[in-house]
Amino acid sequence: MHHPKLRLPQVNRQTAGCVPILEKVERNILSKPHEIFVFEGFIMVTETATQTKDAGIVGRYFHSLKDGRISAQGEVVSRPEPGWYLVTLFDWIVGEPSVCRLVRLEDMAGWLFYENSEMMCHAYQYGIARAGGPYREIDE
């Protein structure tokens, strides 16, 4: 897989100490498949899922459950290391990303997973995650 050459920032007083670290990160990124994305102004670098079992959960949207009730909504962003997943939680009011968290695979047992955000929203309005359904009380 071909990776485009990353451009290091120009060195100035603020970034002078970061250049050796950035060069090391650049070598590491070019040696393995990675995803690079920006979240709240920070550049996030994650290894691309290379095992088939990752393809089933990374990129999926979810409703997490606590005490049998829906407690959060979000997307599985990556698997930084075996058994751990980076998830982005979405705000309930506007649906925008609010925070990222690392979650153990065993803590995700029982969560409701969806192919895309439209399916998650549909399940919340009309499907398994609807008000009055098994995982959510009737909204008042």
Residue 95 pLDDT = 86
Check whether 117 has a pLDDT greater than 80.
yes
Answer yes or no: is 19 within a domain: no
Of 29-38, 69-78, 127-136, which gets the smallest average pLDDT? 29-38
Instruction: Look up the domain containing 119 and give its range.
Output: 52-125
Q: Which of 101, 125, 122, 123 is nearest to 112 (CA)?
A: 123
Q: Is residue 137 part of a domain?
A: no
DSSP secondary structure code for residue 110 in this structure: T
Q: Quick one: pLDDT at residue 139?
A: 75
Residue 20 lies in a domain: no
The CATH number of whichever domain residue 56 belongs to comes to: 2.30.30
**For the sheet containing 84-90, what is the strand order?**
97-104, 84-90, 69-81, 61-66, 112-114
Q: What are the angstrom distances between the C-alpha of 8 and each of 27, 96, 105?
A: 12, 30, 35
Residue 73 falls inside a structural domain:
yes
pLDDT exceeding 90 applies to what percent of the chain? 56
Model pTM score? 0.61
Q: Is 102 domain-assigned? A: yes
Q: Which residues does 98 contact at the CB level (< 8 Å), separation at least 6? A: 89, 90, 91
Question: Based on the structure, what is the number of domains in the chain?
Answer: 1
pLDDT of residue 32: 53
Question: Residue 132 falls within a domain, yes or no?
Answer: no
In a domain, 39, yes or no: no
Looking at every residue in the chain, the average pLDDT score rounds to: 75
Would 72 be classed as within a structural domain? Answer: yes
Overall average pLDDT of the 23-34 stretch: 50
